[in-house]
Structure 1
Amino acid sequence: MAALRQENAQLEAACEQARQEAECAGAHAEQLRQELARHAEAVRPVPVAAHTPPQPEPSAAQSPRPEPEAEQPPQPEPEAPQPAQPDWKPQTRLEHLSVELMNWFDDMMGA
């Protein structure tokens, strides 16, 4: 009987310790959620390079196209200009990690 009482006391102590640890973990998790919410509000969106959508070609009724004068040999098209890089620089650790991840993806894709 004494052994059962001792075992019961040990189990109650272990349960109480587990409750306290769970409360501490819950409080810590709530603190992290609040901190994350503050950081999410403080982080500004990353500017994206301006993209102008392609303009629709005017229809034949709107503006007639001039007739080509003479057959000209096809000229090689100039290389498409690379999109302008924004003047944005990573400032936070998350932005630095994002840039590193995007560079890693570019390397994997062979860009």
Structure 2
Amino acid sequence: MLIVLGLGVRKYSSELPSLISAHAGDALWAAMVYCGFRALLIKRSRLMAFLAALSFSFAIEFSQLYQADWINGIRATTLGALILGHGFLAVDLIRYLVGCAVAFGIDGLRAGFRSS
């Protein structure tokens, strides 16, 4: 679901409010990363998945400061661009934090509903 929403935001960005089109894609990407870590770390706490997802997202963003030909070749592919991005933007770190935090919060609400 998050992948579909993220791709939709990118495809229909001209149809969406500028706040959504500018920020939602990266936040949704980070939320997807949180869900991936949550699935991989099922026996661990939600906080561990949050920290792992945020660390991974930040590492990907900082890796964009490295611009060697071989990694830029990967970034030139559709999948490589979706995973690795292109250029470092400090604002992306905030987008990732928001995406991970929202996913963490929704996960906590969902967990609360399950236990009641």
- Could you say whether these structures have the same fold, taking a TM-score greater than 0.5 normalized by the shorter chain as the test? no
Structure with greater helix percent = 2
TM-score, normalised to structure 1, is 0.27
Larger Rg: 1
